[in-house]
Amino acid sequence: MAAHRIIVTGKVQGVGYRNWTVTRARVLGITGYVRNSGKSVEVVVSGDDAEVEKMIQLLHEGPALARVDNVEIHAANDARLKGFTKRLGA
């Protein structure tokens, strides 16, 4: 099991990035959440190592209208979250 807190910067707000992230995470069976944080997007993911790696790769791409400039990956405690949700901003 892998758990990460990820900060995505660039043109990632107002372009459907959070909804896109929720859809991809649910398909991969990952738990966690996504929310706006300042001018960036924060993503917390937990799940199978291989699926989490796929999600991280997808976060580098983002939806069509997004422009991802940077993806910072930090270790996180495995919070055993249920499902994957979109939360209000930090």
Which one has a higher pLDDT value, 90 or 71?
Answer: 71
Burial, 6: exposed, middle or buried (Cβ in 10 Å; 0-12, 13-18, 19+)?
A: buried
pLDDT, one tens digit per residue, over 4-28 is: 999 999 999 999 999 999 999 999 9
CA neighbor of 69 nearest in space, from 7, 3, 16? 7
Helix (H, G, I), strand (E, B) or coil at 81: coil
Catalytic residues, by residue number, are 18, 36
Q: Tell me the domain boundaries of the chain.
A: 2-78
Domain 2-78 architecture: 2-Layer Sandwich (3.30)
Predicted confidence at residue 90, as pLDDT, reads 66
If you average pLDDT over residues 32-42, what whole number do you get? 96
Q: Residue 78 has what pLDDT?
A: 66
